[in-house]
Amino acid sequence: MTRGTVLKYARIIGTGSALPDKVVTNADLEKIVETTDEWIRTRTGISERHYAADGETTGDLAFLAAQRALEAAGVKASEIDLIIIGTTTPDLIFPSTACLVQHRLGANGCAAFDVNAACSGFVYALGIANAFVRSGQSKKALVIGAETLTRMVDWTERETCVLFGDGAGAVVLEASDEPGIFTTRMRADGGFKHLLFNPVGVSVGFTNAPNHGVKINMLGREVFKVAVKTLDSLVGETLADAGMKEDEIDWLIPHQANLRIIEATAKRLNMSMDRVIVTVDKHANTSSGSVPLALDYAVRSGKVKRGQNLLLEAFGGGFTWASALLRY
């Protein structure tokens, strides 16, 4: 820990996001697999999603989102002393995407690393950055969630390929006496590995051959049930931890995987859907990109205002689940 005054809170002072240009509608997917716009919309709430172009990487999207967040915060890249990227689709095995983005931003020298917590990656990264700021080790941190998940989608499996999209979001955190992040929670249970996983890694099943087995495996119905149950207890624990009541939350900013899961969490919090940020219709599930994309949309559209209390939550492969309760 550095000497000197330790400020009480990590506060979000800027947000940004980036989406690839290419938009793919449900009607487009009807041409690839046996599905319908009606099935996708009623089961998931998704209408369209963005796909990264050939050669466009997670790092490209993270870089753009980071630039926009820095601009919104009025902070120079050289002032940043910590960069964490939540991602499960890094550009390279190493160096980390955070190192690649750090160099492109011109923030060389600061701490930079990736966090793999699947779809909970951004909220995990936010929790870690919060701990760095509160302990005095960081004064200004860049936290990013970025993915090109469609790179590992099996285009013959209608159960999964309709669900995902690519994108990135970022926030700049600053040490402050003003609130700030009140509390964060990070949980995991590796016992659920078999419900949502990619069977190929560097030390398992890896070959240099094309199509070497990388794909998302998912038991959707089981994932759905565990997600609803887990998020139910997560939001309760988070509120208790912060000593807050449900009606003190102005906005729920959930992981955007499925509208029905989002509605179940909102119901658990006694929140009407007009206090919930929903972008899953436009972005589908962008994994770690989802919560910061939704947050940036909420800020830029003027829905979320300074002084409001936000509850962020996410759930993903592992399983992992995480939350952050903060004053914007």
Q: Does 158 bind ligand COA (CB under 6 A)?
A: yes
> CB 168 → ligand COA: shortest distance, Å?
17
Q: Which two tokens stand for residue 294?
A: 């939704």
The span from the CA of 310 to the CA of 299, in Å, is 11
Q: Does 43 bind ligand COA (CB under 6 A)?
A: yes
**Can you name the residues that pair with 170 across neighbouring β-strands?**
16, 144
Using left for φ > 0, alpha for ψ between -120 and 50, and beta otherwise, residue 297 falls in alpha
Which residue among 119, 198, 258, 283 is the active-site one?
119
- Strand-pair category, 111-115 with 140-148: unpaired
Q: Does 26 bind ligand COA (CB under 6 A)?
A: no
> CB 191 → ligand COA: shortest distance, Å?
16
254-283 binders of ligand COA (CB under 6 A)? 257-258
Segment near ligand COA (CB under 6 A), from 62-70, 130-138, 217-225, 237-245? 217-225
Q: Does 220 bind ligand COA (CB under 6 A)?
A: yes
The span from the CA of 265 to the CA of 278, in Å, is 12
User: Using the rule CB under 6 A, which residue among 28, 30, 79, 159 binds ligand COA?
Assistant: 159
Q: Does 119 bind ligand COA (CB under 6 A)?
A: yes
212 is an active site residue:
no
228-257 binders of ligand COA (CB under 6 A)? 257
Q: Does 41 bind ligand COA (CB under 6 A)?
A: no
The span from the CA of 136 to the CA of 114, in Å, is 21
- Nearest to 249, CA basis, from 283, 226, 272: 272
User: Using the rule CB under 6 A, which residue among 122, 315, 321, 328 binds ligand COA?
Assistant: 315
Secondary structure letter of residue 129 according to DSSP:
H
Q: Does 192 bind ligand COA (CB under 6 A)?
A: no
110 is an active site residue:
no
Which amino acid is residue 152, in one-letter code? M
Q: Which phi and psi (to 5°) does residue 5 adopt? A: -70, 130
Query: Using an 8 Å Cβ cutoff, are 124 and 181 in contact?
Result: no
> CB 41 → ligand COA: shortest distance, Å?
11
Alpha helices in the chain (DSSP H): 26-30, 37-44, 58-73, 97-105, 121-134, 158-161, 220-242, 259-268, 280-283, 290-300
Query: Using an 8 Å Cβ cutoff, are 311 and 253 in contact?
Result: yes
Q: Which two tokens stand for residue 82?
A: 């910590």
Of 194 and 221, CB closest to ligand COA: 221
285 is an active site residue:
yes
Segment near ligand COA (CB under 6 A), from 97-105, 124-132, 155-163, 239-247? 155-163
> CB 267 → ligand COA: shortest distance, Å?
17
User: Using the rule CB under 6 A, which residue among 3, 31, 194, 221 binds ligand COA?
Assistant: 221
Segment near ligand COA (CB under 6 A), from 74-82, 220-228, 273-281, 300-308? 220-228
Q: Does 162 bind ligand COA (CB under 6 A)?
A: yes
Secondary structure letter of residue 318 according to DSSP:
T
Of 103 and 151, CB closest to ligand COA: 151
Task: Concatenate the DSSP letters of all residues of 58-109 into one string.
Answer: HHHHHHHHHHHHHHHHT--GGG--EEEEE-SS-SSSSS-HHHHHHHHHT-TT
Of 221 and 245, CB closest to ligand COA: 221
Q: Which residues bind ligand COA (CB under 6 A)?
A: 35, 39, 43-44, 119, 158-159, 162, 218, 220-221, 223-224, 257-258, 285, 315-316
Annotated catalytic residues are: 119, 255, 285
